[in-house]
Amino acid sequence: MTLVHWAPEDLLARIDDVLTVYAEAMDYPPDLVAARRGFVAAHTHYRGFRAVASLDNDDRLLGFGYGYRSGAGQWWHEQVASGLPADAARFWLSDCFELVELHVRPDAQGHGRGYTQLTALLDGATEATVLLSTPEVPHESSRAWRLYRRTGFVDVLRHFRFPGDERPFAVLGRRLPLEGSI
């Protein structure tokens, strides 16, 4: 396996592969995944965009992660801010890296790829905090939840419902940098 850092154009060149991994990892239907194409492409233009990818020896995408600097006016940022008390919103969101996606193909999970992608993505991040959202179900027993807990993520907002999605989500966060704390 090779871990590579992707520039925006690298992710865009592999957007079909990215969406396939996303669909497999999240067990989402094709119509929902197709609707995400525009959002993913738009995210590559956000300030502070960073992406990583795990590739096998044949250049097959095994996993990926990306995020950017969270900011006022961005949809996710505004949704999370609306669910937090003002002091918590200031602490978590004023200087935040928004971890948008972190996925590994189901057949490639269990080999430390998620951890490797997470640490590579956050290594060198200059923001004070990192936030992410993940479905509540299945929660604590899932590989994703175990990874986030093992790397020091704490509850910021639980059982939160984003507009347009029936599922409850947890918003998890931690202070940065990672070094010395994992």
pLDDT band at 166 (very low <50, low <70, confident <90, very high): confident
Cβ–Cβ < 8 Å for 173, 131: yes
In the set 22, 66, 68, 148, the catalytic residue is 148
Could you give all domains of the chain from N- to C-terminal order, each with its CATH number?
2-175 (3.40.630.30)
Report the C-alpha gap between 14 and 34 in whole angstroms.
14
**Tens of pLDDT along 143-155?**
889 999 999 999 9
Per the confidence metrics, is the pTM higher than 0.75? Answer: yes
Phi-psi region of 112 (alpha: psi -120 to 50; beta: other; left: phi over 0): left
pLDDT digits (tens, 9 = 90+) for 86-95: 999 999 999 9
The answer to whether the beta carbons of residues 65 and 99 sit under 8 Å apart is yes
Burial of 91 (0-12, 13-18, 19+ CB in 10 A): middle
Q: Is 66 known to be catalytic? A: no
Q: In the beta sheet, which residues pair with residue 76?
A: none
